Structure 1
Amino acid sequence: TTRPVEVPTYAFQRRRYWPGGSVGASAGSLSGVGLAGAGHRLLGAQVALADGGAVFTGRLSVSTQPWLADHAVSGTVLLPGTAFVDFMAHAGRQVKCPQVRELTLQAPLVLAEDGPGAVVQVVVDVPDEHGQRTVAIYSRPDTEAGEWTRHGTGALTETTDSPDTAWVWPPAGAPASGEDLYAGLAEAGFDYGPVFRGLKQVWQDDEDVYAEVVLPDEPAGFALHPALLDAALHALAAASGTGSAALSTGSGEGGLPFAFTGVRVHRPGASTLRVRLRRQEPDGVGLEAVDAAGNPVVSIDSLVFRPVSHADLTAPGASDGDVLHLRWTPLPERTPEEALEAESAETPADARPGGGHVHAVPDIAAASAAVRDGAAGPDWVVLPCRAPEEGPVPERARALTVWVLGQVQAFLDAPEMAGRRLVVLTRGAVAADESDRGVDVSAAGVWGLVRSAQSEHPDRLVLLDVDAEVGDDEWPALLSAVSAAPLPQLVRRSGTLSTPRLEAVGDGGELTAPAQGPWRLTAGSGGTPAELALVPQPLTAGEPLGEGLVRVAVRAAGLNFRDVLISLGMYPGAASIGGEGAGVVTEAGPGVTGLAVGDRVMGLMPDSFADTTVADARMVVRVPEGWTFQEAASVPIVFLTARYALGDLAGLRPGE
């Protein structure tokens, strides 16, 4: 339902609007639609939909908005996460739901400095029974062939609580200069230009961080200028004492805003902020900001950062059209000297292995109770996951996932576990290579569950699947490697750790038809789709047709679950792929009536995954006028299944 569709600018008749290329235009350039006065510098057009929803759209380009180039990570220009907050806040003010109840960012929006810009759409749904509106933000390269990407989802509400601004300004103590931190941020890969260097002074006490931010650019045309809010968050890096710790992590990764909760813009158009940032356990921060006169400007109940790999930032269109597959890549082995140096830098001496650094527990309640009773708190908590040994697989899988859900929730909620990491340990839950033939279905569900939790708590949860028990003496080196891994999802096979990575399928993965003669698709004997092959089919060409048969040039074939089972070697007995299709009659055998050469037909066709096949004339019919071959090929087996179920099994008759 979220796949982008092209919708003419004059035909907004559907109840729900999804992104379409006809609406992504700059301010004032939409013809045939009603525009509300959007008044936004980046979202220049607003379309009010008939069902009460709305779409806000505009074009982003470094060439026309050069200040966007001042926000770059590792040389790649990114639209700051604060811009998405501004988009939602602006949309909320227009639809009378001014509070951003929540916003979760899913993918960065990369802007090429010398390539096409991006078309952005903010899609606001109709209000639900509580007056809340869901929102999704999309973009695509500003080309006709560009694919849509969803960058974030969230919700808008009508609530506008007043923030607590009763704090003294200026704060006590001597301020630190904000200018000094930008050199450290540049070394960490955060390349901020003049517009995004608005942090002037920083103070901190035991609980809070205070900052003064001044925007050098004109703030008009925004609910809250992205550079102003982004610079306010830079104070977290200055307060860390390293110049970059709050915004970057080890191994070449950087932290960017990920999830916003309770955002309220009280006064648009501010150019100066006095900010109070309050850290929240375990990894969040709250924000209140006022202008120079003390009037509330913006408040955020909670903001969470997440690591982003610089290697994953690519320009738009870099992988357009690529087919991706998951590949488990072994981690590079670190020398003993590198491992010792990393452990010394990352772990205090009193928390290294043997001093409570690693602790395997039967459940989180026991671990929390031990810490409350005075036991040394572990840095790593290992939770082995084992499904019940008896009962049907679905019941075992449900029991294990329900148990793991409760354990993860208890870990995240327990004050004793604050600042620690949980390793969810499974065995045989992942097929990481060809040797993993038998996956434990009961444990596989745990990975899907914890992956979802990792999206909200990326620094607290680790998934580790092993093929053998891990000895007590192996854990220190193993966790040292886990902490250096680019993703918190790993498998260990024969002592080697691997992490998942999406890679484009190259030309070597394409099937090539034989140079001469007809061909058909066959499945190999190994039971994997990788063994699918196109092979010659000499018997179909030139052989006289039998009584009642027709030869069909196949244009489309229907794919069914039976075909999948055959390709996986799971179908009983010998069988060939393809049972239905559509095409053009090229030859009719003796006794065939009602069909002629050139007729477009569909129906049951053996070996339909081929360029040519032979079918029983009684099993095919003419394709209805206006149907495509693809539509026709998908109908026969579905229709006949329904006909058999309703007529033969249920006994229904026409008119009943």
Structure 2
Amino acid sequence: THTHGTTPTWNHQPAHKTPTHKLPTYPFQHQRYWLDTPPGNGDVSAAGLTPTGHPLLSTAVELPEGKGTVFTGRLSVKDQTWLADHAVLDAVVLPASAITELALFAALREGGDRVEELAIRTPLVLPEDGSVQLRVTVAASELSLHAREADDAPWTLHATGVIGSGGETAERSVTPGPGARPIDVAGLYDRLLRTGLGHGPVFQGVRAAWRDGTDVLVEADLPEDATAADFGVHPALLDAVLQPVLLDGEGDDDGALRLPSALTGVTLLGAPGATALKARISPAGDDAVTVFLTDADGAPVAHMDAVTLKPFSPADLPRRTGTHDALFEVEWHAVSSPATAATAGVTLHQDADALRAALDTGAATSLAAVLCVQEATGEDGETEPPARTRALTHRMLALLQDWISDERTADTTLAVVTRYAVAARPDEDVADLPAAAVWGLLRAAQAEHPDRFVLVDLDGTDASAAALPAALATGEPQLAIREGRLYAPRLTRSPAADPGDRPSAFGDGTVLITGGTGTLGTLLARHLVTHHDVRKLTLTSRRGTDAPGATELAAELTGLGADVTIAACDTADRAALAALLAETTDLTAVVHTAGHLDDATLPTLTPHHLD
């Protein structure tokens, strides 16, 4: 009405009152609802790669000087959903038939038609989320299959082989003879499942089987929605014809799980893309069989001189969890020195007093000020490491606070130099514990104030001292110099050790958990008992058995086979803690989970916080 010249009553209130809602007291939580797009193949030719058209190996790159070819691919149970239909001990494992298909494809692309040998070194476990990168490398006649889950994860060798061409193959009948006896395959997949081998619909292709003397004949096909045209032999179909011989005996389940571990003399004989197979499987020595395959019309498809079946146990399965290889550790790696390192604008100060004096005269307002950390003594001349550590960190804290608050140093980097405060090489140990505490303090300062501080650790040699200007020119925030060479800390993956190879980290005695009745302590206590066979625990907290849930926790851990003591002890009370330790004569490990919230940033940090 307003646009047509009428003046409405702007302050009119409706008869009903619109309800109002209080806004939340916390910041709005912004969440993206766009679907994450998985990496695609795109136009790989622009990157110097050649598309292959294979469902599992999408690209190829020829190595220079005729040194071979690398085939690449990416596997995911979300993209190749049929791969999820093959499970070993509840883990999705790439079947040996798929590895055989990869090897055959690589052989054909390199001018061969036969896989002379193929050995499966390590099962390739596919993650529930994400994907696995594949690399099949062919150099001369040697073949290898590597895979990894993440872009920065280490490569794992899963299979090796030899490719070739030629080889004589005798055709064999795949039709059951007059004396052949049918094998009941109705319960085949239930029996296989009881051994730990699970098959989904695509892999449940066995339709009939017979025993003909010592041979086994099998007929199998693919579901109608499965695509086989781009495979030499579809992995699910090749896996299916071998399933009846994975069980020992004549179909009776003996509880043993067997899987193909090696293949020899694998040859493609006919056109690719068969959707149904007939097979004759014959004994070929201990734990090995010969396999001859035809399509549904009897035309030859493939021949395998020998398929070796090996018992498979949980120990053979690589561990794959959400945190597999998610543990990192710090390693010191050599870094190159700059060709030239200017020393102009770099001033050297032997101690904090000298640096402060230089600030007062203006001499320290340069490109970089180098402070050499000197040994310190505690109050009353104490020389024990704890007293020296407190004295040195208190002194360094005051200096750092002065440094960041002084406008004269705003454009100057403070380089703090220590000696053997870090172990930069495997044969080293930390020789100066108070200086190591200085490193901890400076690392926190670096996180809060980037580009203001540099840490350099020397070994006392003249070559390392001479390399100090080069170290400052690298731009690295933390460096160690050993015999003139520069080393910088880097995060590297720490592979999970096999449980059988891991030594006991907690010993056979008592494990003390401070804050043991709290949330973290409770979780840790259960974990130590159930995963590390810890049998003697002492759990401390300020309230001891009066803490909420303490009695129930002790009963639970006792039921799991542990001897549990819950003690009231404030770990901040030195005398109480000393008395507890004196009573625990077989202490082998201490885990500190007691929490104390008293944090502060560098400008507000006090010596009390450090102590």
Mapped pair 1:261 → 2:261: no
Gaps of 5+ in 2: 1-37, 330-372, 376-384, 397-414, 443-451, 487-611
Deviation at 1:631, TM superposition (A): 10
Q: Structure 1 residue aligned with 2:183, among 160, 176, 181?
A: 176
Secondary structure at 1:178 match in 2: coil
Question: Which residue of the partner structure matches residue 308 of structure 2?
Answer: 304
| Distance in 2 of aligned mates of 1:617 and 1:110 | 47
Task: Supply the distance in 1 between the matched residues of 2:248 and 2:464 (Cα, whole angstroms).
Answer: 79
Letter of the structure 2 residue corresponding to residue 165 of structure 1:
E
Alpha-carbon distance, 1:624 to partner: 5.4
- Whether the 8 Å CA contact 1:103–1:152 is kept in 2: the answer is no
Distance 1:161 1:171 in 2: 28
Equivalent of 2:216 in 209, 218, 235: 209
Residue from 225, 231, 255 that aligns with 1:222: 231
Give me the TM-score of the superposition, normalised by structure 1: 0.47
Match of 1:162 among 168, 178, 190: 168
What displacement does 1:38 show? 0.9
Aligned positions of 1:91-106 closer than 5 A:
91-106=106-121
2:327 equivalent to 1:322: yes
Match of 1:636 among 475, 479, 483: 483
Q: Deviations over 1:590-614 (max 9, x none)?
A: xxxxxxx9788674249xxxxxxxx
Match of 2:52 among 38, 41, 62: 38
Q: How does 1:402-551 map to 2 (within 5 A)?
A: 537-538=389-390, 540-541=392-393
Structure 1 residue 100, shift from structure 2 partner? 2.1
SS of the counterpart of 1:633?
A: strand
Q: Could you say if the C-alpha distance between residues 154 and 98 of structure 1 is closer, same or farther in structure 2, counting changes exceeding 3 Å?
A: farther
Query: In the alignment, is the contact (CA less than 8 A) between 1:209 and 1:239 conserved in 2?
Result: no
TM-superposed deviation, 1:266? 2.6
Q: In 1, distance between residues paired with 2:305 and 2:478?
A: 50
Distance in 1 (alpha carbons) for counterparts of 2:289 and 2:435: 58
SS of alignment partner, residue 312 of structure 2: strand
* 1:157 to 1:314, Cα distance in 2 relative to 1, 3 A: closer
**Equivalent position amino acid for 2:232 in 1:** A
User: CA separation in 2, counterparts of 1:87 and 1:222?
Assistant: 9
Conserved 8 A contact 2:453-2:477: no
Q: 1:203 to 1:29 in 2, by over 3 A?
A: same
- Equivalent residue letter for 2:459: L
2:73–2:135: 8 Å Cα contact kept in structure 1? no
8 A Cα contact 2:95 2:239, kept in partner:
yes
d(CA) in 2 for partners of 1:552, 1:579? 9
Distance in 1 between the 2:208 and 2:312 partners? 27
Indicate yes or no: 2:133 matched with 1:120.
yes
**In structure 2, distance between residues paired with 1:37 and 1:603:** 52
Deviations 1:268-308 (A, max 9, x none): 22222221222233322222222234433222222223333
Residue 539 of structure 1, CA deviation: 6.4
User: Once the 2 structures are TM-superposed, how far is the Cα of residue 79 of structure 1 from its aligned partner?
Assistant: 2.0
Unaligned 5+ runs, structure 1: 1-23, 325-517, 521-532, 545-549, 568-574, 587-596, 607-614, 640-656
CA gap 1:541/1:86 in 2 versus in 1, 3 angstroms: same
- How far off is 1:86 after superposition? 1.0
Go from structure 1 to structure 2 and tell me whether the alpha carbon gap of 1:280 and 1:322 turns closer, same or farther (over 3 Å shift): farther
Distance 1:283 1:33 in 2: 46
**Contact residue 287 and residue 300 of structure 1 kept, 8 A:** yes
Amino acid across the alignment from 1:40: H
Q: Pick from 459, 463, 468: which aligns with 1:604?
A: 459
In the aligned structure 2, how far is the partner of 1:630 from the partner of 1:599? Answer: 5
* Alpha-carbon distance in structure 1 between the residues aligned to 2:386 and 2:305: 58
Report sequence identity in percent: 28
Residue identity in the other structure for 1:66: T
1:623 paired residue number: 470
Residue equivalent to 1:108 = 123
Q: 2 CA distance for matches of 1:43 and 1:32?
A: 18
**Which residue does the alignment assign to 1:57?**
72
Deviations 1:192-246 (A, max 9, x none): 122111122222244322222222233111122111111111120467224444x
Partner of 2:244: 235
Q: Distance in 2 between matches of 1:603 and 1:66?
A: 56
Q: Does 1:283 align with 2:287?
A: yes
Per-residue CA shift, 1:91-122, capped at 9, x if unaligned? 22112233223222233333344x22x23322
How far apart in 1 are the matches of 2:45 and 2:387? 53
> C-alpha distance in 2, partners of 1:100/1:519?
67
In the other structure, the counterpart of 1:86 is 101
Q: 2: distance between equivalents of 1:109 and 1:519?
A: 54
Shift in CA distance, 204/627, structure 1 to aligned 2, threshold 3 Å: farther
Q: Is the alpha carbon distance of 1:106 and 1:122 closer, same or farther for their aligned partners in structure 2, counting shifts above 3 Å?
A: same
* CA distance in 2: counterparts of 1:29 and 1:578, whole angstroms: 57
Aligned residue pair count: 363
> What is the CA–CA distance in structure 2 between the aligned matches of 1:174 and 1:203, rounded to whole Å?
5
Three-state SS of the structure 1 residue aligned to 2:123 is: coil
What does the per-residue CA deviation read over 1:548-604, in whole Å, with 9 as the maximum and x for residues that have no partner?
xx95168995644643xx79xxxxxxx779999xx99x9xxxxxxxxxx97886742
Cα pair distance change 1:302/1:577, threshold 3 Å: farther
C-alpha contact (below 8 Å) 2:290/2:305 kept by paired residues: yes
SS of 1:622's partner is: helix
Match for 1:152 among 151, 158, 175? 158
Give, in whole Å, the separation in 2 of the partners of 1:258 and 1:120. Answer: 22
Deviates more, 1:72-81 or 1:315-324: 315-324
| 1:273 and 2:286 correspond | no
C-alpha contact (below 8 Å) 2:61/2:70 kept by paired residues: yes
CA displacement, residues 42-62 of structure 1 (integer Å, 9 cap, x when unaligned): 222223333443232233222
Cα distance between partner residues in 1 of 2:206 and 2:253: 14
**Which residue of the other structure, out of 144, 147, 166, is the alignment partner of 1:138?**
147
Gap change, CA 1:601 and 1:223, over 3 Å in 2: same
Distance 2:97 2:470 in 1: 53
In structure 2, what residue type is equivalent to 1:92?
A: A
For the pair 1:194 / 2:201, whether they are aligned, the reply is: yes
Contact map agreement 1:263 1:300 (CA 8 A) in 2:
yes
* 2:145 and 2:160 in contact (8 A); partners too: yes
- For the Cα contact (< 8 Å) 1:273–1:291, is it kept in 2? yes
Q: Structure 1, residues 448-488: CA drift from partner, whole Å, max 9, x if none? A: xxxxxxxxxxxxxxxxxxxxxxxxxxxxxxxxxxxxxxxxx
User: In the TM superposition, what is the alpha-carbon distance from 1:313 to its structure 2 partner?
Assistant: 6.0
Q: Which amino acid aligns with 2:115?
A: V
TM-score by length of 2: 0.50
CA distance in structure 2 between the aligned counterparts of 1:258 and 1:535, rounded to whole angstroms:
62
Counterpart check, 1:70 vs 2:75: no
1:96–1:635 Cα change, 3 Å: farther
Separation in structure 2 between the aligned mates of residue 242 and residue 124 of structure 1, nearest angstrom: 39
CA–CA distance in structure 1, aligned partners of residues 184 and 453 of structure 2:
80
Distance 1:165 1:32, change over 3 A: same
Tell me if the contact between 1:559 and 1:578 (Cα under 8 Å) persists in the aligned partners: no
On the 8 A contact 2:44/2:50 being kept in 1, the answer is no
Distance 1:277 1:553 in 2: 71
CA-to-aligned-CA distance 1:610-629 (integer Å, 9 cap, x gap): xxxxx999565322587475
Determine if contact 2:174/2:280 at 8 Å carries over to the other structure: no
How far apart are the structure 1 equivalents of 2:213 and 2:53?
A: 41
Equivalent-residue separation in structure 1 for 2:478 and 2:284 (angstroms): 54
Letter in 2 for 1:154: T
Output the CA distance in 2 between the equivalents of 1:536 and 1:266: 79
- Alpha-carbon offset, residue 257 of structure 1: 2.0
Aligned residue for 1:372? Answer: none
